[in-house]
Amino acid sequence: MLRKFKISIDGKEYLVEMEEISESSAPEAVPIAPAPTAPIKENTETADQKQPQTPSSAAAVPADGDMMPAPMPGTILKILVNVGDTVSENQPLMILEAMKMENEIVAGKAGTVSAIHVSSGQTVNAGDGLITIA
């Protein structure tokens, strides 16, 4: 998950994006590639000149689907659906354990599961993408 920070150094403001990585959230069979690094650019824009930025993770989400974010940090205990399954609104999709409690993650809308972004046993943060329903 990319996080954006605004940093001031010697009175100059910089916008920095950082990727949060933890060993427990990476799939075991897939090696983690190093994130590309970009030079830090000085933010010289005024409030009137700022342009909205699109999140870089938006390219990974299909345009015809909605990625459901994790409502809280926790561990995925069980995934109850598969890619290609048709789901109805409020149908349980997975079980998320948070603070020793099991929470059902339910579909926000009816549709077809087009992608599952997590696996059983994976630790997620609030806002991490869980599943995409088209």
* pLDDT above 50: residue 98: yes
Each residue's pLDDT tens digit, 21-71? 765 555 555 555 555 555 555 555 555 554 444 343 333 444 445 889 999
Whether 129 shows a pLDDT value over 90: the answer reads: yes
Please answer whether residues 1 and 127 qualify as being in contact, where contact means their C-beta atoms are separated by less than 8 angstroms.
yes
DSSP 8-state secondary structure symbol assigned to residue 61 = S
* Residues in contact with 116: Cβ distance below 8 Å, sequence separation at least 6, in sequence order: 79, 81, 82, 83, 130, 131, 132
Tell whether 13 is covered by a domain: no
Would 52 be classed as within a structural domain? no
Tell me the pLDDT tens digit for each residue of 72-84: 999 999 999 999 9
**Among 16-20, 111-115, 127-131, which stretch is predicted with the lowest mean pLDDT?**
16-20
In a domain, 54, yes or no: no
What does the mean pLDDT of the chain come to? Answer: 77
Tally of domains in the chain = 1
What values do phi and psi take at 56, rounded to 5?
Answer: -70, -20
Residue 74 lies in a domain: yes
Domain that holds residue 75: 61-133
Closest CA to 85 of 94, 76, 77: 94
Burial (CB count <10 Å: 0-12, 13-18, 19+), residue 74: buried
99 domain-assigned? yes
The answer to the question of residue 29 being in a domain is no
Read off the CATH number of the domain in which 74 is found: 2.40.50.100
What radius of gyration do the chain's Cα atoms show? 18
